[in-house]
Amino acid sequence: MVNINLTDVNDNAPMFSRDVYTAVVSEDATIGESIVKLTAEDVDSQVNGDILYSIVSGDRENQFFIDPLSGMVKVNKQLDRETVSGYSLAVRALDSGVPPMSSTVMVNIDISDINDSPPTFTPANLTTVIQVLLLT
């Protein structure tokens, strides 16, 4: 009897289920609120197919957080549409093979506005004269 054991080599990069992800989140979203779940699959077996997610660009102020295991993108800091109306994040899915292989996808997040700015008047004080015509 001859036993043959095949060992998987890391020859496949993770593949995202979409070419681009898009989401809309309100500027009053709470910290920790879920925005969008990214999904990647690696057809390699065992450790070669284990995937970790990370944000690689587009989030200089760390407004967002991605769970490295689940791929869920969440709010990390208070958002303000009047400052930034949207973000384009590059997210990487990295497998655990040796050498590791990866894929990157764009995630576009639009920030929806809420009525959080009271009206302002310039100048703050105005004076006017109104003439009234009295008829007798």
List pLDDT tens digits, range 46-99: 889 999 999 999 999 999 999 999 999 999 999 999 999 999 999 999 999 999
Q: Provide the CATH topology of domain 15-112.
A: Immunoglobulin-like (2.60.40)
Encoded amino acid at 124, one letter:
A
Question: Quick one: pLDDT band at residue 134, thresholds 50, 70, 90?
Answer: confident
* Domains in the chain: boundaries: 15-112
Q: Is the pLDDT at 28 greater than 90, yes or no?
A: yes
- Report the percent of the chain where pLDDT is more than 70: 96
- Report the percent of the chain where pLDDT is more than 90: 73
